[in-house]
Amino acid sequence: MKPLEGRVAVVAGATRGAGRGIAVMLGEAGATVYVTGRSTRGNLSSMRRPETIEETAEMVTSQGGIGIPIRVDHTVEEDVKTLFERVEKEQDGCLDLLVNDVWGGDPLTEWGKPFWEHSLQNGLLMQKRAVHSHILTSHYGIQLMVARKQGLVIEITDGVDYNYRGNMYYSLAKISAIHLAESMARDLRPHHVSAVALTPGFLRSEAMLDHFGVTEENWKDGAEVDPHFIASETPFYIGRAVAALAADPNVERKSGRSLSTWGLSTEYGFTDIDGSQPHWGNHFSKFVENENK
């Protein structure tokens, strides 16, 4: 079954991590997915990671969708404007789903430093990459949805609340994504376009696997370094969460809300690719919060 066959999606920041997982699972559901990011074959971004948008697009197609890679720097207005002009032309004005997953803040976050000792340049660049880019992308992408009076925008974030996340600049970026979804939902309601924020749990991304010195095959060994890693989830879990939201005919009822992979897996019944249903919310409240008391 391909519940999203014939649907058109743009996943902004789909080179790796959650963005790649989202794009690939939208492909599994049959969607046409524009895969955007800065890393292309032969021209990697400043992140210096090996993953590319071409690889992601090929994974989308291999899962049964149509993957279309387009090199876009989402902090550059002309790049973003050109992207949606192309989508409009190639898809006859159709855009059903926009996922804002642009991040690029990991190498900029200086954990353990108060904000006045943190690099101001890095902190401001984080806002440009993770907040300004989302605003730019939504500004142009949503115009296609409003014209057709349908569509869904998903802001990918970290956490479901407004609590401090251990670093001022990181917190500002992640909380801003939640408020962007809330604010857009208010403006978009009369046009029958929805906007939500969505967070994964402990994401078992390519970078995190490298950090723990493990692979997807032996990932549980990472729990010897951090016991909470045992409750982690693959990027495909949030991908299935996005696919479930996109296929929900009543998704407008969720507009403006901050959602989680574990909450949606309980509601919609989807699993991670190994058949499990990680529930970071339960793990966090049982173990992590107790450690912090």
- Please compute the mean of the pLDDT values over residues 70-84 and round it to a whole number: 98
Given a cut of 80, whether residue 292 has pLDDT beyond it is no
Would you state the pLDDT for residue 42?
A: 86
Would you state the pLDDT for residue 48?
A: 79
Q: Do residues 151 and 189 touch, judged by C-beta distance below 8 A?
A: no
Would you state the pLDDT for residue 122?
A: 98
Q: Under DSSP, is residue 147 helix (H, G, I), strand (E, B) or coil?
A: helix
170 in active site: yes
Given a cut of 80, whether residue 289 has pLDDT beyond it is no
Would you state the pLDDT for residue 227?
A: 95
pLDDT greater at residue 50 or residue 132: 132
Given a cut of 80, whether residue 218 has pLDDT beyond it is yes
CB atoms within 10 A of CB 271: 13
Would you state the pLDDT for residue 293?
A: 58
Given a cut of 80, whether residue 9 has pLDDT beyond it is yes
> What does the pLDDT look like over 15-60, one tens digit per residue?
999 999 999 999 999 999 999 999 999 888 887 788 999 999 999 9
Would you state the pLDDT for residue 45?
A: 83
Q: Under DSSP, is residue 12 helix (H, G, I), strand (E, B) or coil?
A: strand
Would you state the pLDDT for residue 199?
A: 98
Find where tokens 């802001």 sit.
155
Given a cut of 80, whether residue 3 has pLDDT beyond it is yes
**Percent of the chain residues past pLDDT 90, beyond the cut:** 94
Pick the catalytic residue from 164, 170, 237, 268: 170
Distances (CA, A) of 88 to 143, 147, 166, 239, 290: 10, 11, 41, 24, 50
Please give the structure tokens belonging to residue 212: 């723990």
Torsion of CA 4, 239, 10, 41, to 10 degrees: -120
> What does the pLDDT look like over 253-264, one tens digit per residue?
999 999 999 999
CA angle (101, 102, 108) in 5-degree steps? 125
Query: Which residues are CB-neighbours of 62 under 8 A, at least 6 positions away?
Result: 27
Return the domain boundaries, the chain: 8-213+234-278
Burial of 278 (0-12, 13-18, 19+ CB in 10 A): buried
Please give the structure tokens belonging to residue 65: 């969708």
Would you state the pLDDT for residue 274?
A: 95
CATH superfamily of the 8-213+234-278 domain: NAD(P)-binding Rossmann-like Domain (3.40.50.720)
β-partners of residue 199 are: 260
DSSP string covering 123-139, please?
A: HHHHHIIIIIHHHHHHH
- Please compute the mean of the pLDDT values over residues 101-110 and round it to a whole number: 96
Would you state the pLDDT for residue 256?
A: 98
Query: Which residues are CB-neighbours of 283 under 8 A, at least 6 positions away?
Result: 201, 202, 228, 231
> What does the pLDDT look like over 142-178, one tens digit per residue?
999 999 999 999 999 999 999 999 999 999 999 999 9
Q: Which of 168, 228, 242, 253 is nearest to 200 (CA)?
A: 242
Given a cut of 90, whether residue 73 has pLDDT beyond it is yes
Distances (CA, A) of 201 to 113, 170, 244, 249: 24, 16, 17, 25
